[in-house]
Amino acid sequence: MKAHLTRRYRFSSSHRLHSAEMSDEENVRTYGKCNNPHGHGHNYTLEVTVSGPVDPATGMVCNLVDLDGFVEREVLSRFHLENLNTLQEFAQLVPTTENLSIEIFEILQRGFHQAHLETVRLEETMMNSFEYAGTAEPRK
Higher pLDDT, residue 1 or 85:
85
DSSP 24: H
pLDDT at 139: 59
For the segment 36-58, the average pLDDT, to the nearest whole number, is: 96
Q: What is the pTM assigned to this prediction?
A: 0.93
CA 53, CA 4: separation in Å to the nearest integer?
9
Buried b (16+ CB within 10 A) or exposed e, 29-66: eebeebbeeebeebebebebbbbbeeeeeeeebbeeee
Average pLDDT (28-49) is: 97
What domains does the chain contain, in order, with CATH numbers?
Answer: 2-15+42-132 (3.30.479.10)
